[in-house]
Amino acid sequence: MSFILRIFLLAICFTLVVECNVFAKGYTVSSSTQVRKKDYDWAKEQALEKVQTKLILKAAQNMLSQENLAKLQKNFPTYIRVPQRYIQSFSILSEEITKSNINLSVYSEVNIPALAAKLKNLGFILKSDPFFSVTFLVSKQLEFNATDFLAQLKKMHIVAQKPSFLNPEFLSQPKQKFISSVFQTFSQNNTIYLLSPVIKNNQIVSLRFTIYTKIHSKIIASWKYPITPVDVNQKTPELTASIAKFLQSLDYSYLHTQAYQSNATDLFLSVTGLDSPFLRAKFERYFLKSNPLIKKYSLNQLAPKKTTYLLSSLSSTPKILNSFYHLQTHAHFALAFNKSNASYIEVKTEYKARTHRATPVQGWQNPSIFTKLSQSTLASITATPTKQESEPNNSPFSYNALPASTWVWGNVRSRSDNDIYQIKLPQNKSKQRLIIHFQVLGQTHFSPVLYLYQNDFQWLQTYKPIKIHIGNAKTTIKRTFTTLPQSIYIRITDYIGYIPQEIGGFLSFQYIIYYTWT
């Protein structure tokens, strides 16, 4: 197996930790790439990239219309920059290498909820999105055949009957009176779309598209579309053409999002067992913020034994309950549903902290461990560290002073942990070359990284230690300053950062660091 293929499979395995989800579908795809100038590694890398693209497109085939799928395929590198983020497993079924081609066949599982969420964030309308009913009104000054207009709305999962044409006198009422009367006259839907002209000097100079909602009794969106001026009393082909262009410009941002927001209903969620800010924050994160069925939520009431939230959702109460059942399998909570109805859910929570399997800490104080490491990868170190980091040292306001010419031991205990040190400036101003030695002790699944800053934490450079194998990464930083800054800082942390619900071993790393001026 080539080096590039190993790296790719390691990246896929790491992604499993980030995007693990039980809702996955398996796909088999094949890819063939031409070998140029006997560069087999490059050809295999290209074949793997093609495989990833095909996997995502094949999964998206069941989610998107042909029109949207073609749009995704055309702009794939821009839309999906990291395809492996949505690939949950990866296995090579066959690999054929000839003088001119590399042919791969793979089986992979794609994380469907994560991919669907990404497509929705990109503005795509999924086949599974619900349809919304609206009332469509048009000013009589713009009478036209609305068949194409209604078909375009349907593509956005918005259903409207043939439009009702309103007299200009009806439209000329004061705003609040108009909103009230229009919902009294057309009461079949909660949302109304109105297409009307903007008239100046007896000419139609633009089209105005407005969305009204009965729930809030106000305009929730208004959009003006300029056109070539047309006489108000003449139905010219130019006006019909302008309406057609306006129709083509309707998109997700202006219409579909507003339809979802205006059709959302309010739901009360009463939760017992959230007895501390920590538990409330955990619950909100796992069940409210990350729940795709909940558009918005707010804290409605906070009492010693009960917390009540007001949710805004487009889904029914049973669907939200089902989503809670699914989410609790990945969260730290067990839920008991006491009672629920169409507008109210009562939940009892029990928090269950998870234990992380980890390797025993290999302290630098253990002489045998340090001697063994010194003989293998730390040959340049002649003495054990005499200093140790002290917490807190994880913010620009709380850091350790790093003594010069002294090995210091530290421990990054989680992906979100930061160890920040201030480097003392040389007393001899002619010494302006900074040399930093950094070494990870033992194995880790983290990706250690060092950030160098100056003055008020102005970033200078990022350094990623070279991994000898899994763990045991090391680096030597050499930087020359033409003018010494007022202060220099170095931050040691994990490059990936916090990953929700990550479990497993080697989820920390110990290190030693040393610097000198020359």
> What are the DSSP calls for 130-187, one per residue?
PPEEEEEEEEGGG----HHHHHHHHHTTEEEPSPEEEPHHHHTS-HHHHHHHHHHHS-
Q: Is the pLDDT of residue 160 over 80?
A: yes
- Give the least confident one: 26-35, 205-214, 237-246, 375-384: 375-384
pLDDT for 142-152, tens place per residue? 888 888 888 88
Q: Is the pLDDT of residue 121 over 50?
A: yes
- Better-scored residue on pLDDT, 267 or 454: 454
What's the pLDDT score for residue 471?
46
- Better-scored residue on pLDDT, 224 or 1: 224
Q: Is the pLDDT of residue 423 over 90?
A: yes
What's the pLDDT score for residue 258?
54
What's the pLDDT score for residue 511?
87
Q: Which two tokens stand for residue 405?
A: 């010419």
What's the pLDDT score for residue 357?
37
Choose the most confident range, by mean pLDDT, from 204-208, 257-261, 397-401, 444-448.
204-208
pLDDT for 16-60, tens place per residue? 443 344 467 888 988 888 887 777 777 877 888 888 899 999 999
C-alpha neighbours within 13 Å on the C-beta side of residue 177: 6
What's the pLDDT score for residue 59?
92
DSSP-derived pairing of the beta strands 191-200 and 158-160: unpaired
- Better-scored residue on pLDDT, 32 or 429: 32
Average pLDDT score, the chain: 79
CB 300 within 8 A of CB 308: yes
Q: Which two tokens stand for residue 9?
A: 């499979």
DSSP-derived pairing of the beta strands 488-494 and 448-454: antiparallel
Rounded distance between C-alpha atoms, residue 52 and residue 474, angstroms: 32
What's the pLDDT score for residue 247?
75
The DSSP call for residue 236 is -
Q: What mean pLDDT do residues 72-79 have?
A: 88
Sequence-separated (6 or more) residues with CB below 8 Å from residue 170: 178, 181
What's the pLDDT score for residue 358?
37
Query: Quick one: pLDDT band at residue 137, thresholds 50, 70, 90?
Result: very high
What three-state secondary structure class fits 376? Answer: helix
Q: How distant is the alpha carbon of residue 470 from its chain centre?
A: 28
Choose the most confident range, by mean pLDDT, from 91-100, 222-231, 254-263.
222-231
Rounded distance between C-alpha atoms, residue 271 and residue 284, angstroms: 11
- Better-scored residue on pLDDT, 267 or 497: 267
DSSP letters for 417-436: --EEEEEPPPSSTT--EEEE
pLDDT for 346-390, tens place per residue? 999 988 764 433 333 444 455 555 555 555 444 455 556 778 888
Q: What mean pLDDT do residues 288-298 have?
A: 82
Q: Please compute Rg for the chain using Cα positions.
A: 31
Main-chain dihedrals φ then ψ at residue 204, nearest 5 degrees:
-80, 115
- Give the least confident one: 175-179, 239-243, 346-350, 365-369: 365-369
Nearest of 359, 364, 373 to residue 506 by alpha carbon: 359
